[in-house]
Amino acid sequence: MASISSGGGGSGRKRVDQEIPLIPFIDLLLCCVMFLLVTAIWNETGEVPAELTAAGGAEEGVRDDVEPLILEITGSGFVLASMAGDRIEVPASEGAPDYAALSQRLEERHRIQPNTPPVKVRPDDDISADVLVTTMDVLRQRGYASLSFL
């Protein structure tokens, strides 16, 4: 324990010396430092590069010769579409989104078109955040890193 001495104590005065427990303060400080060290990496790994665009708006950095892939997320499943007019429906299985089927369709699409186009995600209003995040994870796992929302 550390103590703070006031220097007084003579001439009939009451001593006002205090003992301060420094070990809990050091423990608290080390816990704060460890928390900051652990969470510092979340700044880089927790971000998803996505841009919000208006419907039909042009994005910066996207080449004009690559047509984007449009992924609609509905309550009944997923719809993969392109500007060329092709449309692939991935129905939900037992009321839950079928991420395995979506991943398989994306893999087939990647074999057809090896250069990964940007993906424009169009979720319905009633889609929950966990469905949207899991869908974005499936897209990133299949190599579709350029995401934007319509």
Within 13 Å and on the Cβ side, how many CA atoms surround 53? Answer: 20
Q: Is the pLDDT of residue 141 over 60?
A: yes
Mean pLDDT over 138-150 rounds to 86
**71 and 95 inside one domain:** yes
| Residue 88: pLDDT over 50 | yes
Task: Work out the mean pLDDT of the chain and round it to a whole number.
Answer: 80
CATH code, domain with 85: 3.30.420.270
pLDDT, position 62: 47
pLDDT in tens, 44-62: 666 666 665 554 444 455 4
pLDDT of residue 149: 86
- Domain extent, residue 55, equals 50-149
- Asked whether residue 70 falls in the same domain as residue 129, the answer is yes
Contact present, 98 and 77 (Cβ < 8 Å): yes
Do 63 and 39 have their domain in common? no
Q: Is the domain of 24 the same as that of 91?
A: no
- The DSSP code sequence of 95-114 is TB--HHHHHHHHHHHHHHS-
Total number of domains in the chain = 2
Q: Do 58 and 97 share a domain, yes or no? A: yes
φ, ψ for residue 36, nearest 5 deg: -65, -40
pLDDT at residue 47, as a whole number: 64
Asked whether residue 81 falls in the same domain as residue 111, the answer is: yes
In this prediction the pTM is 0.57
Residues 13 and 66 in one domain: no
End-to-end CA distance of the chain: 62
pLDDT at 1 over 80: no
Q: Give the integer Cα–Cα distance in Å for 32 and 50.
A: 32
Residue 93 and residue 29 in one domain: no
- When pLDDT is cut at 50, 70 and 90, the band that residue 78 belongs to is very high
Contact 121, 53 (CB under 8 A): no
In terms of Cα–Cα distance, which of 46, 48, 50 is closest to 147?
A: 50
- In terms of domains, do 75 and 122 share one? yes
Does residue 15 share a domain with residue 82? no
Task: Please tell me whether residues 117 and 145 are part of one structural domain.
Answer: yes
Residues 61 and 38 occupy one common structural domain: no
pLDDT band per the 50, 70, 90 thresholds, residue 31: very high
List, for residues 103-136, the tens digit of each pLDDT value: 999 888 888 777 888 889 999 988 888 999 999 9
Is the pLDDT reported for residue 30 higher than 90? yes
